[in-house]
Structure 1
Amino acid sequence: MYRNGCGGCASWRKPPSPATEENPLVIAVPPLFSPIPPAIHPRHAEIDVETAAWAETYEIGSVALRRRLVQHEIGVFAARVLPHGREEVIRTLSDFVLWLFGVDDGHCEEGDLGQRPGDLAGALHSLLRVAQHPQAPLLLDDPLARGLRDLRARIDEFGTASQAARWVACLREYAFSVVWEASHRSAGTVPSLTDYTLMRLYDGATTVVFPLLEMGHGYELQPYERDDRMVQAAEEMASFVITWDNDLFSDHKERRSGGGYYLNVLRVLEAEGLSPEEAMTRAIAQRDRVLTLFVRLTDHLSATGSPQMRQYVAGLRSFVRGSQDWGIRSVRYTTPGDPAGLPTVFSDTATDDSPEPLGIDAVSWWWDVVPAGSSSAERSATRPSRREGLIGAR
């Protein structure tokens, strides 16, 4: 089976020459392995409309950015993440994800602050203060801050004090990581695979969603479960698969954006000497191996944990699968005017199901905490039929 030996590469490398129209270096993404059945909340269309109205009410981003974001069906994404959750929490998640895109697209990738990591850190620190203490008289006329105050009020309404505190802490992790990304953008450098893997666990803002998985069903994990290393590993694996998939789905859009600099796992692997085709194959093998491990671990946690734990790992799985379904359907990544060549179905077979670690130091500890094997019943419970693997099946 495939082995990755890139974990010890240099801290950064100068990127290869950017793609051009004559040499786009873009290849189609094949059907990806997904053993988790799809699901979606029945009011997904209404939630999407309500999020578009929320974006206008709080004037998130520029007019042009808002017009783009409301076309991306972010409400549908949230409805896939919490297919059986409370509608008011799904709406909160949807509005929050649109707010994150307003920050990420408006400040980090397309705005001037994306090239000035020091100034970006200051701007994000002020927003973090608003999230932590919304009563503080900061950024009172700033649309992002006003939207964030509304979101924090809803987090307080639907969650516990500890869940709200965790949400703020995870938002801080996200802010720290996007400043790191801005430092590479300003220097035009590409990080090593180990460094990229570590920061990608946070700069995709996946961890900020985790508290809402609990809020969506009105429960809270006990501290002994929350702090368990197996639970932490399952969360990180979910983040890895979600962000690796996002990198695969967004590669075409990023290469064709005309902005010059972009950063995803394919570019990282290409900077370490792989061809575009080899990079695609290796990235898919990496996510397949981790997804296989994730299923084994969540099978175990479901079989041995409390009812709240079973609900939580079901939420992690819905987050993974919901991100996949949305990623191959949203115009954010399909780019209809310049089709991205994304798959329309998923595969029920992994390209790499080896039980060996990837060889990436930042995440090698995952393999130390996963129990050896799982029952055939547990495995079959997570393997959908080929019909269930079709996009949008429910």
Structure 2
Amino acid sequence: MTGSGRAPHDVRQQFDLDLKGLGTSAARAFRQRSQPRLFCPGPLRDDRALGERVNEEMLRWAAETGIYPGRLDKLREADFGRYMMLAHPATSDPDRLLAATKCLVAEWAADDYYVDEVSLGADPMVVGSRLANLYAVVDPPSLPGGYASQKDAYHRLQPISTAFRTAMEHLARYASVTQLARFRHQLAILFLAWTQEADWHVNRRTPPVWEYLVQRHLNSYLPPMILMDVLGGYELPPGEFFHPEVRAAFTTAGNAAVLINDLYSQKNESETDHNLPSVLAAEERLTHREAVFRTVEIHNELMETFVSRAARLSATGSPALRRFFADTWAYLGGSREWHATSGRYHDSKEGKP
């Protein structure tokens, strides 16, 4: 589908329909196939012109910050502007989508340059200190005397610091104090997860499946997902957002979303990187094909759990909570579509898998 996308009330209506049509019985049917299919919605819109507009503005910002020097063509191919357009159909405002895209690209750049890509300077021995220093941009400390100027001098030499600072300044135009606080909180969780990943690399250790899934719970897609009500122009009240049952449903959706990344990114990863298929193969002595199918089954189980929890909570929660879960459902479909088509994971000559 092309165009400007459905209005928020249509997104909620689609969520209701999908809950009926893709409930747990349908998910179980997916699981029972010899080659399981992903239990995931499709995108609610694909406005290519809007995505391209956001992408072009993001590229200008990336050039100004200095991230990905000499690699902006690769950043263009990744099409992160389209990602946020697909994942956040509740808004057609290009500037709101740009704010979210900047935050997403800053996070991705930190992962590439500090954690994953040795060719870009990643070093597992210093991941912890780099991320702690970067978090000082996310949640600035008050340092005494000349120490503040030394800190500022350090960050002026770090393009990723500039990316985070300017991205959050843009986000602050639309986010409330509470929404910014929970975004900072989720980034702290993300940075912690990256230090755990560095520990695996330093110690040349393949984690057991349960530990890998814990890390993926921390290193999930919640940072970009958490901006849903910011982009939608409303705010889920803190009492509902942080309610344990709502948090459990939302984090389960984030965990499912990031396993889509494991499926699509694995062919681009080095032999020392970890993903769910690789740790499943190592622990359970599976072939690669079997490990991929098992990953799909785990993803589908998480999606079943999210749908069940979201349906129950939506029936008794506020209109804002109902909208929040509808936006979560929409995010899952848009995210899956981006992973299936992005130049980050597929050559331009490849069709959609």
Pairwise TM-score range, normalised by the shorter structure:
0.7 to 0.9
**Residue 183 (structure 1) aligns with:** 199
What is the identity, as a one-letter code, of the residue corresponding to 1:116? Answer: P
> 176, 180, 183: which one pairs with 1:160?
176
Question: In structure 2, what residue type is equivalent to 1:153?
Answer: E
- CA-CA distance at 1:229 after TM superposition: 2.1
Matched, 1:63 2:75: no
1:46-96 CA distances to partner (integer Å, 9 max, x unpaired)?
Answer: 1111111111111113323x3312211100000111112243221111112
Shift of 1:39: 2.3
Distance in 1 (CA, whole Å) between partners of 2:57 and 2:327 is 23
Asked if the contact 1:113/1:120 (under 8 Å) is kept, the reply is no
Q: Deviations over 1:312-369 (max 9, x none)?
A: 11121122111100000001112347x5x963xxxxxxxxxxxxxxxxxxxxxxxxxx
Counterpart in the other structure of 1:116: 124
Alpha-carbon shift at residue 224 of structure 1 (Å): 2.0
Partner of 1:144: 160
Give the Å deviation of 1:267: 0.4
Per-residue deviation at 1:286?
1.0
Q: Secondary structure at the match of 2:77?
A: coil
Residue 286 (structure 2) pairs with residue 290 (structure 1): no
Once residues 97 and 58 of structure 1 are traced to their aligned partners in structure 2, the CA distance between those partners, rounded to angstroms, is 14
What's the secondary structure of 1:332's corresponding residue?
coil
- How many residues are treated as equivalent by the alignment? 309
Question: Shift in Å at residue 293 of structure 1?
Answer: 2.2
Separation in structure 2 between the aligned mates of residue 71 and residue 134 of structure 1, nearest angstrom: 36
Alpha-carbon shift at residue 158 of structure 1 (Å): 1.0
Q: Which runs of 5+ in 2 are unaligned?
A: 1-27, 30-34, 143-147
**Letter paired with 2:54:** I
How far residue 36 of structure 1 moved from its aligned partner, in angstroms, is 5.2
State TM-score, norm by structure 2.
0.81
More helix by share: 2
> RMSD in angstroms over aligned alpha carbons?
2.4
Q: Percent identity?
A: 24
- Cα distance in 1, alignment partners of residues 261 and 328 from structure 2: 16
1:223 matches 2:238: yes
Select 1:97's aligned residue among 96, 100, 104. 104
Superposition map of 1:44-63 within 5 A: 44-63=51-70
Q: Is the 8 A contact 1:134 1:149 kept in 2?
A: no
Residue among 269, 272, 275 paired with 1:264: 275
Does the 8 Å CA contact 1:250/1:333 hold for their aligned counterparts?
yes
Corresponding residue for residue 251 of structure 1: 266
Specify the alignment match of 2:6 in structure 1: none
Q: 1:46 to 1:121 in 2, by over 3 A?
A: same
* Other structure's SS at 1:133 match: coil
Instruction: Please point out which of 320, 328, 332 is paired with 1:316.
Output: 328
Aligned to 2:128, what secondary structure does the other structure show?
A: helix
Return the alpha-carbon distance in structure 2 between the equivalents of residues 218 and 282 of structure 1: 38
Q: Deviations over 1:124-162 (max 9, x none)?
A: 111111111289642123211112111121222211112
Residue of structure 1 equivalent to 2:145: none
State the shift of 1:34 in Å: 1.9
| Amino acid in structure 1 at the alignment position of 2:218 | Y
AA aligned opposite 2:282: A
Shift, 1:274, TM fit? 1.5
Equivalent of 1:127 in 126, 134, 148? 134
Structure 1: 5+ residue stretches without partners? 3-28, 344-394
Taking the aligned partners of 2:36 and 2:77, their CA distance within structure 1 comes to 25
